[in-house]
Homo-oligomer: A and B are copies of this chain.
Amino acid sequence: MSPLTIVTLDWVPDFPRGFVRDIRARWAAEEAGRPYQVETVPGAQKTEAHREIQPYQQVPAIRDGDLTLFESGAIVLHLAEGTPLLPPDRRSEVTQWVISALNTVEIATGHWLLMILQRDYPEIFGPGATDAQLAHARRGMDLRLGQLERELDGREWLLGDQFTAGDILMADTLRQIDHDGVLDGFPGLRAYLDRAKARPGFQRAYDAQMDHWKAADKARAAVAAS
């Protein structure tokens, strides 16, 4: 097996910790039983070296042998190849759910989330929404969440009994909006997300990301003290 490298940022402030999307690559690697190392790119000053591996200068990216790959959904599908995360006879359905999370669900949740971030961090995310706009975005999101909950009814995971790449993307998309009481009205999604977060692979990925930021804090403190 070729060595796997996950590329993430060298440091982030507190609020996105635990949510930076390298967690999806880490989670898939854990579920797939792939050891990995971590490489960083600077978050504060975007570099040409960063652009060469990720044209939007975002994270994550991975290096897997000779292949460099970006987009967390494509990374998770790539790491899922040949593992139970991607049953070969259900490839198109797994892809359907990966894309459902990243397009249909995230277009709705991301619209609301951006407004919340604008409310809390206008200096970073831009001019805030009115109450009417926020309520409209919330209704659009709630419509999608209700449809998803109904679809999941009676199933443990999106494909039934088998946890797949689609669940990594869908659960992580839901996790990003799990505040301000959003999931209170959706007990089925709440239970689905809790099941996903209880997986040892998620726990290890989460802890590894949080440890990464702690080490980054320590490195910055050492530089500041020197």
Asked if residues A78 and B107 are in contact (CB atoms below 8 Å), the reply is no
A201 to chain B, nearest CB (A): 21
Q: Which of B99, B110, B133 contacts A74 (CB 8 A)?
A: B99
Point out the residues of chain B lying under 8 angstroms from A224, CB to CB: none
A103 to chain B, nearest CB (A): 4
Asked if residues B78 and A92 are in contact (CB atoms below 8 Å), the reply is yes
Q: Is A70 an interface residue (CB 8 A)?
A: yes
C-alpha gap A135/B106 in the complex (Å): 22
A141 to chain B, nearest CB (A): 12
- From known contacts A102-B99, A127-B136, A136-B127, infer whether A74 and B57 are also in contact, taking CB-CB under 8 Å: no
Q: Which of B55, B103, B151 contacts A73 (CB 8 A)?
A: B103
Q: Which residue of B lies closest to A93 (CB)?
A: B69
Stretch at the interface among A2-10, A12-20, A142-150: A142-150
C-alpha gap A153/B95 in the complex (Å): 29
Asked if residues A107 and B104 are in contact (CB atoms below 8 Å), the reply is no
Q: Which residue of B lies closest to A107 (CB)?
A: B110
Q: Is A42 an interface residue (CB 8 A)?
A: no
A138 to chain B, nearest CB (A): 11
A102 to chain B, nearest CB (A): 4
- List 4 A-B pairs, minimum CB-CB distance, nearest first: A74-B96, A55-B151, A126-B136, A73-B99
7 more contacts with CB within 8 A, not counting A57-B147, A67-B92, are A55-B148, A73-B95, A74-B93, A77-B92, A106-B107, A127-B132, A127-B133
Interface residues of A (CB under 8 A from B): 51, 55-58, 67, 69-71, 73-74, 77-78, 81, 92-93, 95-96, 98-100, 102-104, 106-107, 110-111, 114, 126-127, 129-130, 132-133, 136, 140, 144, 147-148, 150-151
